[in-house]
Amino acid sequence: MKKTRLLLILGVAIAARAQQQASTQATLNAPANTEPTTVSFPFERIQAPTPVDLSCAGFVSKQLVPNSNFVAGNLYTPIDTKASNGEVVYLAGKGYEVGQKYTIVRELRDPNRYEIFAGQHALLKIMGQPYSELARVRVIDTRSKMAIAEIEMSCDPVNPGDFVIPYVEKPAISFHTPLRFDRFMPGNGKLTGRIVLAKDFDSEIGPGDKVYLNVGANQGVKPGDYFRAVRAYEADLHDPTDSLSFKASTNEDTQAHQAAIDPNIFTKTGGPVIHMRDLPRRSVGEVVVVSTTPTTSTAMVVFAMESVHLGDNVELDQP
């Protein structure tokens, strides 16, 4: 019985080896003019925004949020300064109604004043003031000079001094079915903008992260619009880290005529000069708009082939 099983295994191995050799020989004997394999583009796997994504996205607005209504504290003030889901907060100001819902927002400042890309601060100043959306609360009572509210949903801890504005439910975002993502798609001539800021002041951005664009409702942008994030190779020239690559050699010692990539054109070998502006732009991801102001949009990254960067351009995309 054992001998029979051993012979069977040996026979299968010999047959597999013969099939592999035949396949290799067929490949070698293939005609020289055989058509090359078509470059395949990956399918987009869209990450749809959830209700929490919509409620916690934040925004940038030229119109400042009124500071007359704000969080005065919580049940254990001042021992405990942060409140989250299920906890009670006290709201100072006027106009509160029992049963009504409100959004807690925070006027933001970046403690690190470093510019991720040249001109970022100037663009952000034109766009307006960034705000984070921290929580949704419901007023359960009014006592003394305060309203008492319960936190129904929190994105981040609520602090005394955070502002209170009326709650407005955001419409659900529809997402398109998976499509092939063309990384080298040329410009389509539609509306363009730029990613100027990201939620939590992030600089390396991936699927699920929120970004803020310098185009808004005045340009016809609306929730549910898709934008393709694109990056030209020239953008690396303006990055303090990526620009170092232009100072390094990209050639092999055996190349008789070594190429030079601008701006590093001091190579004296007589080889070709590669201009970055002539290389195809590359698409790095796709974002969907979740809310707008007249001059800005809040968007969520729903697909990315690589990290999306602050400063990347965006182009209106209609899949």
Highest mean pLDDT range out of 33-37, 46-50, 226-230, 231-235?
226-230
Task: Give the Cα separation of 263 and 30 in Å (integer).
Answer: 44
Q: Is residue 210 a contact partner of residue 58, using CB atoms and an 8 Å limit?
A: yes
Average pLDDT, the chain: 82
For residue 27, the model assigns a pLDDT of: 42
For residue 42, the model assigns a pLDDT of: 65
pLDDT tens track for 289-308? 999 999 999 999 998 988 99
Write down the domain spans for the chain: 52-166, 173-317
Task: Give the Cα separation of 204 and 116 in Å (integer).
Answer: 10
pLDDT tens track for 131-184? 999 999 999 999 888 999 999 999 999 999 999 999 999 988 877 666 777 788
Task: Give the Cα separation of 6 and 1 in Å (integer).
Answer: 9
- Contacts of 108 by beta carbon, 8 Å cutoff, 6+ apart: 129, 130, 131, 132
Which of 273, 106, 295 shows the shortest CA–CA distance to 194?
A: 295
Mean pLDDT of 188-205: 92
Report percent pLDDT > 70 for the chain: 76
The answer to whether residue 7 scores a pLDDT higher than 90 is no
For residue 30, the model assigns a pLDDT of: 44
Task: Give the Cα separation of 106 and 163 in Å (integer).
Answer: 6
User: Residue 153 CA to chain centroid, in angstroms?
Assistant: 23
The answer to whether residue 103 scores a pLDDT higher than 60 is yes
Which helix (H) or strand (E) is 136 found in, with range? strand 129-143
The answer to whether residue 223 scores a pLDDT higher than 90 is yes
Which of 218, 83, 201 shows the shortest CA–CA distance to 132?
A: 201
The number of helices, as runs of H, and strands, as runs of E, in the chain is: 3, 17
Tell the burial category of 168 from Cβ atoms under 10 Å away from its Cβ (0-12, 13-18, 19+).
exposed
Q: Is 17 helix (H, G, I), strand (E, B) or coil?
A: helix
Report percent pLDDT > 90 for the chain: 53
Mean pLDDT of 16-24: 46
CA distances from 309 to 26, 122, 239 (A): 46, 17, 11
Higher-pLDDT residue of 242 and 67 is 67
Q: Is 104 helix (H, G, I), strand (E, B) or coil?
A: strand
Mean pLDDT of 278-294: 90
pLDDT tens track for 35-81? 444 445 666 667 778 899 999 999 999 999 999 999 999 999 999 88
Which of 61-65, 226-230, 236-240, 262-266 is predicted least confidently?
A: 262-266
Mean pLDDT of 258-266: 63
Q: Is 41 helix (H, G, I), strand (E, B) or coil?
A: coil
Band of residue 269 on the pLDDT scale cut at 50, 70, 90: low
The answer to whether residue 264 scores a pLDDT higher than 80 is no
The answer to whether residue 286 scores a pLDDT higher than 70 is yes
Higher-pLDDT residue of 6 and 188 is 188
For residue 4, the model assigns a pLDDT of: 47
Higher-pLDDT residue of 12 and 117 is 117
